[in-house]
Structure 1
């Protein structure tokens, strides 16, 4: 494969990831291959390679005779999201504190600098993406082949949902957003110090900071309980 074709595929892949994470491509929609091929100036075969890779990363689902569908966020997946998130974040953070390398810690600090920059610029999409990068690096630090795929899938939906949490127009959430940014700094310190238990505890507190607002956003109207819980009679 030529360098030009490889670069074009890489740019297409990165852009589609970004568009899915920021909900420019909404959950559940089917992608038009002809439009994508025209937009990215690619022929169908390399475009399908990109879509196959996105499917392997859980950004899209491939359907026979219907093509690629952006990963939907159904009631079931959202319930599972709220159940799994605190367990996965805690486990990953604990392992990160045990296994992080100096180079990974430097990358995490760089991601935090970009996260802070997006806050100053009031860019909701970039803030959500930098938050995703921050937690993805922690996942790499954990170095666990069983947890990492789950974290990657979790971060796709967390980033998509988090677009609301990070929107600077939502003034009522400003205090929580500031605390979340400060918690990132402390997470870095705990991982660098190798303090596994406190890193895990803070990961749960970090999740809880945005959980209520995220639940309020995704809970269907008329539902009287959060997606992560069931009414007493259903338990």
Structure 2
């Protein structure tokens, strides 16, 4: 039972962090978590160590743990690194994928197409995780796993479109997934790279809403325009 409780705690905290139910940078209070999940401090600390190893939380000596931050430096590094890793993963996946992995990818894609906003980001996460597994490269997979954490958090805005134009971007993302599956089936490495970079470009601009979610309100704009008024 204790093992099950610990695994449930791990799975739930992972989901809460990646869906932004727990905000980046927020503190994790051990006493509160022990009470919420009904486990003792020792298994909880094991859970926190695993989450830290996956890049989901940060631990500091004598300061406890907190949800991994997404400050300017983190975001800048993410946007610089992601397309390089994704492109190399894509090429290797086309070369090394197995039929069983393709079947798994197609099954996830079917669920992704039917998903609502609350589930789409996590199914997209799993879609790209499977492509990473196809690549069979432990070095790139380690980087991909870490980046997919932040990609899932950033893409929460992408899968909650606020206009018809944004809804069409989600439709386009689904179509690109289908095209990737076809490229993987045909082992077309160059095409897979191209599709992956197109897919990255599609979501990249919308991810900015995580940092700048809304325009300034009119009263703030008015204050800025008249800041030198006497």
Structure 1 residue 172 displacement after superposition? 3.2
Q: Is the 8 A contact 2:25 2:70 kept in 1?
A: yes
Quote the residue 2:45 is aligned against: 48
Counterpart for residue 86 of structure 1: 83
Within the alignment, does 1:196 sit opposite 2:177 as a pair? no
Query: Are positions 1:116 and 2:120 aligned together?
Result: no
1:217 to partner: Cα distance: 4.1
SS at match of 1:165: coil
Query: Is 1:13 aligned to residue 5 of structure 2?
Result: no
- For the pair 1:30 / 2:23, whether they are aligned, the reply is no
CA distance in 2 between counterparts of 1:106 and 1:188 reads: 10
Aligned residues: 215
Unmatched tracts of structure 2, length 5 or more: 216-230
Q: What does residue 62 of structure 1 align with? A: 59
Whichever of the two has the greater Rg, that structure is: 2
Q: Deviations over 1:134-161 (max 9, x none)?
A: 1011111111111111111111111111
Q: TM-score, with normalisation over the residues of structure 2?
A: 0.89
The answer to whether structure 1 residue 207 and structure 2 residue 204 are counterparts is no
TM-score of the superposed pair, with normalisation by structure 1: 0.87
Q: CA deviation at 1:5?
A: 1.7
For 2:157, what is the secondary structure of its paired residue?
helix
What is the rounded CA distance, in whole Å, between the counterparts of 2:71 and 2:135 in structure 1?
A: 29
Q: Give the Cα–Cα distance (whole angstroms) in 1 for the partners of residues 19 and 163 of structure 2.
A: 17
SS at match of 2:28: coil
In 1, the alpha carbon distance for the partners of 2:167 and 2:67 equals 30
Residue 176 of structure 2 corresponds to 183
Q: Partners of 1:102 and 1:77 in 2: how far apart? A: 36
Residue 227 (structure 2) aligns with: none
Q: How far did 1:53 drift? A: 0.5
Q: How many Å separate the matches in 2 of 1:137 and 1:14?
A: 18
Partner of residue 141 from structure 1, selected from 100, 121, 134:
134
**Aligned position for 1:102:** 99
Q: Report how far residue 219 of structure 1 moved.
A: 5.4
Q: Which runs of 4+ in 1 moved over 2 A?
A: 168-172, 215-222
Q: Secondary structure at the match of 1:58?
A: coil
User: Distance between the aligned counterparts of 2:213 and 2:166, measured in 1?
Assistant: 20
CA RMSD of aligned residues (A): 1.7
Shift of 1:111: 1.0
Distance 2:112 2:209 in 1: 24
SS in 1 for 2:58: strand
Is the counterpart of residue 129 in structure 1 residue 126 in structure 2? no
